[in-house]
Structure 1
Amino acid sequence: MNYIIKGNLAAFLCRECSEYLSQVRVRIYLPTSDINIAAVSAAEIKDTFREVSEEEIKAKQDRLIAEAETDINGNFSIEIDEKYSRSALEFDFYCGTVPRPPFPPKKGKARQFHITTFVPQWKIIKEQVYMANFSYIIPEKWWCLIKGRYFDVWTICGRLTDCKTGKPLSGVTVIAMDADFITDDELGTDVTDSNGHFKIYYSSADFKKTFLSPIINIETDVLPPFASGPDVYFHLEYGGQRFALETKADRRNNVGYCLCVKLCSKELIPVDPSIPPSFTHFGLTQHIPIQAGINLATGKTLGGYAFFSSVNLVGTISKKINAQPMEYLFEYQEVENPSDALNPAGWSPVVPNMIDKTVIGYLWTFTGDPSNPIAYEPYHINGTGTEKTVTFNGNWIQVPQDSNFAPHVDAEILKLNTEKLTGVTSIDMSMPTSGIGNSTVSGTRPHTSNRYFAVRMRQREAGNAATEVVAGTSKPIAIFNVLYHNVNKYGSWAHTTVNDQRIALSVDLQEIISGSSGCSKITTDLHVKYGARNENLGSVSLSIVGPHKPGQSFGFDPIVLMPAPETFGSTQLVFTPPTDTVADLLPCAYTVSISATALLTTGDGNLSSYHDFVSFCKV
């Protein structure tokens, strides 16, 4: 016959918080002959649970009849010999690790603890197989002491709810802080579950820190008694934003190995960022540093891009400076060359109509919905309608002072419309299609170069000019805002013109141009004429689509860019085999396409490719 004990070991950390004893060894012993079985099996935990000394372990080794290790959920299964099935059994567990998520189990000197004496109640589950169940939950005072004293694992168990509704707040990160004399330490974090529960594990190393750490680590209390536990208060984090649920004044002093808390939040008060208010980058996506990311010789990014259109100025703002409301201002200065020295007196303010609609932070509130506990409302510069919108003090942007306002940290703080700095230059590209393939620069279509602007941020206490400081100055950046109008498209075959082009790009065929109707058929000659204009051209390429004979291929040589502002010329097909000519093309329809790029960026996206094409028939 088989006699199997199925069991589970767990332990309380608080009355409403428990954990499984995973990776511990359950050891079953025969009791000594002089023990009062009825008395010990009925005894309370306070009278039975104790640590077993090494001498006792050695002394009872010959009474050990079985052992097994618990799984991650504290479960174990032990089969015992039939001859012990009618005996009472002593249960111990041998512990070399204790749980400490999200880190690996904390290891220490292995220790053994006696749980109780157990008389199995066997039930037959199938022929020749008997089973008894054993489960045990160690009281919190014992388990917290074992984890803390022997393994230096400290635990915070709690639940987070909405103070108004009492509903649990799920998916919110709870951050345990230690209020200290020199600096506040972050003990640990956990995300609340669907019922608002959280569990934070930490060690004494997380709160015994000084300015001399790691050489000297102590809990830096100011006055005696110098207790060893941390002084705990809590922050929250949701959607990447940190909130002060409590402050130092709310701290729980010198907490023990286990702390049990019930937290609720009435409102979300964002914590001021540790990053000082500053202007640091261009673009949220490309995140181009305002100094190291700009080539001083060209004013372009290190990738060779000039700026155009609307550019996100990225940085950090805070609600207050020196405990006073903050306001900030951007200024610009144009220079002739990007390497020119800036004039201290040459700055002009970025005025409100130069700023495109910008989100600079959010108002955070509880929804009362456990599945979506926190809602946010954007705060704008130049918002519209019912949107939350900042106010200006002249040209200074006043940071909102709402208690639940979270200002942007390393995010957009102003969206600069560079077209308001440079203006938009319009160039009329009207010309006969016969002009394609030739230079377009003329007195009426002059060479328009990049312009160069440095940008800087100033900040101050609201209305206090004496507190003004510069908080970030960029190198001069290249800006190009030119639009081309009446640009030829689709050659002479289906000729039209288009406006508002960032790249003036056209392609045509000389043989069609020379025809009377623009629909001349191709027989033996094909001369492709092209032109592309932009100060910051990145590439120009030609391609052709159409049928080919077996073993035949054809295309165009790469186009080499000319000096700014344009690339133009005429080219012909290159064949394989090289003895083939246009006369060897199959009689059919073909399309010649041209594409071009310009190295222009907003810091979040680059200018898209431009295209044109012309079709012809080979006879």
Structure 2
Amino acid sequence: MCYLLIGNISALMSDDCMEPLVNARLRVYLPDGQYPKRNNPKTDIFYGPGQLTKAQVDAKRDRLLAEARLDERGNFRLTWEQLHLFTEPLELDICIHHMPEQADIRGLETNYHLSTVIPQWTRSGQRYVAAYAYIIPVESWNQIRANYGTWVIAGTVRRLHTREGQTQLRLEAYNAGNHRLLGCARTDEQGRYQLRFSKKELTSSLMLVGEPREQLGPDIYFKVYRDKQLIWEEDPRTAMMPGRKSVAPCSTININIRESTFRKISGYVPGWLSNWAVAGRKSSLVDH
């Protein structure tokens, strides 16, 4: 008899924003008869994953039943052959090699126990099918991202007064410590964005792979562009405010802009002001 387990593994970046575990590996193990009391198929989704040591992973290698890589949406399909119907729990673990924004994928490999569950198998033709989903809580995902020295910032760009989400804008995030560009992102049709960067974008090693969560993140401020035109620039001192100083690996930052407000930067002149200046010069020449 063939068994098919399908589902999704994702992580919370904020209360209303998730990201998939791209290219992580999901492993399913036969049970060993010892199940943690807290593991319950109906409540396990509310617990964070428990990190496993290399020795713990090696100890259960002989019980490995199936393994699959998660796709770009965090979806997976696991199949295996078995002679009898499973009525006992299965152990599900996840193996993470690197984060998507890391250029060097030869990084730290970490393993986590997700849950011990009894799938609700349904017979479909010559196979049994079940589904499973797991969402990593934001607190746990913060810690995991901290171990890899990576950040993801999500939010919405809105007009200050209308509160409408602004589409097709480009955001640039800067490190206030050295004014170095950390990363770029574009807003979608609702004005939402996701911006990612790693410790390689920082000139100093604020966080090293494997170091504890207490390491500090960068202090950041933003610039917002429509096409190539700068429409909003924050004062770098904004980076000293709460929510911008030492940003956590998973952060939510919403930006409210007033497009009528411009700051003079590097000889930049807003389009309407430039047109006014040209028209003024033409009028002066005609009068003369």
TM-score, normalised by the number of residues in structure 1: 0.41
Q: Distance in 2 between matches of 1:382 and 1:56?
A: 73
- Residues 39-62 of structure 1: CA distance to partner in whole angstroms, max 9, x if unpaired? 544554565621110010111112
Which residue does 1:138 correspond to in 2? 136
Q: Distance in 1 between matches of 2:198 and 2:34?
A: 43
Whether contact under 8 Å (2:45, 2:135) holds in the other structure is no
Which residue does 2:108 correspond to in 1? 109
SS of residue matched to 1:233: strand
Whether contact under 8 Å (2:93, 2:112) holds in the other structure is yes
Which residue does 2:251 correspond to in 1? 259
Whether contact under 8 Å (2:39, 2:116) holds in the other structure is no
Whether contact under 8 Å (2:47, 2:137) holds in the other structure is no
Q: Distance in 2 between matches of 1:121 and 1:267?
A: 54
Whether contact under 8 Å (1:234, 1:246) holds in the other structure is yes
- Residues 135-192 of structure 1: CA distance to partner in whole angstroms, max 9, x if unpaired? 111111112221222x221111111112222211010001112212xx3121111010
Whether contact under 8 Å (1:96, 1:111) holds in the other structure is yes
Indicate whether 1:379 and 2:275 are aligned: yes
Which residue does 1:424 correspond to in 2? none
Whether contact under 8 Å (2:232, 2:257) holds in the other structure is no
SS of residue matched to 1:379: helix
SS of residue matched to 1:135: strand
Q: Distance in 2 between matches of 1:122 and 1:27?
A: 18
> Residues 267 and 227 of structure 1: is their aligned pair in 2 closer, same or farther, counting only changes over 3 Å?
farther
Whether contact under 8 Å (1:37, 1:117) holds in the other structure is no
> Residues 46 and 268 of structure 1: is their aligned pair in 2 closer, same or farther, counting only changes over 3 Å?
same
Q: Distance in 1 between matches of 2:201 and 2:30?
A: 43
> Residues 75 and 229 of structure 1: is their aligned pair in 2 closer, same or farther, counting only changes over 3 Å?
same
Q: Distance in 2 between matches of 1:218 and 1:70?
A: 30
Unaligned runs of 5+ in 2: 207-213
Q: Distance in 2 between matches of 1:141 and 1:63?
A: 30
> Residues 133 and 42 of structure 1: is their aligned pair in 2 closer, same or farther, counting only changes over 3 Å?
closer
Aligned amino acid, residue 98 of structure 1 = M
Q: Distance in 2 between matches of 1:32 and 1:79?
A: 20
Indicate whether 1:239 and 2:148 are aligned: no
Q: Shift of residue 230 of structure 1?
A: 1.1
Indicate whether 1:206 and 2:189 are aligned: no
SS of residue matched to 1:148: helix
Whether contact under 8 Å (1:245, 1:269) holds in the other structure is no
- Residues 457-486 of structure 1: CA distance to partner in whole angstroms, max 9, x if unpaired? xxxxxxxxxxxxxxxxxxxxxxxxxxxxxx
TM-score, normalised by the number of residues in structure 2: 0.84
> Residues 38 and 30 of structure 1: is their aligned pair in 2 closer, same or farther, counting only changes over 3 Å?
farther
> Residues 197 and 105 of structure 1: is their aligned pair in 2 closer, same or farther, counting only changes over 3 Å?
farther
Which residue does 1:190 correspond to in 2? 185
- Residues 50-92 of structure 1: CA distance to partner in whole angstroms, max 9, x if unpaired? 1110010111112211111111111111113333622211110
Which residue does 2:99 correspond to in 1? 98
Whether contact under 8 Å (2:170, 2:226) holds in the other structure is yes
Indicate whether 1:129 and 2:127 are aligned: yes
SS of residue matched to 1:109: coil
Q: Distance in 2 between matches of 1:266 and 1:121?
A: 53
Whether contact under 8 Å (1:106, 1:153) holds in the other structure is no
In the TM superposition, what are the counterparts of 1:157-306 in structure 2 within 5 Å? Answer: 157-180=154-177, 183-207=178-202, 209=203, 217=204, 228-251=216-239, 252-274=244-266
Q: Distance in 2 between matches of 1:30 and 1:133?
A: 17
> Residues 121 and 218 of structure 1: is their aligned pair in 2 closer, same or farther, counting only changes over 3 Å?
closer
> Residues 74 and 47 of structure 1: is their aligned pair in 2 closer, same or farther, counting only changes over 3 Å?
closer
- Which one has the bigger helix percentage? 2
Q: Shift of residue 37 of structure 1?
A: 7.0
Whether contact under 8 Å (1:242, 1:271) holds in the other structure is no
- Which one has the bigger strand percentage? 1
Q: Distance in 1 between matches of 2:233 and 2:265?
A: 15
- RMSD of aligned alpha carbons: 2.8
Q: Shift of residue 391 of structure 1?
A: 9.5
| Greater RCO structure (CA 8 Å; 6+ sep) | 2
SS of residue matched to 1:145: helix
Aligned amino acid, residue 50 of structure 1 = G
Q: Distance in 2 between matches of 1:390 and 1:158?
A: 43
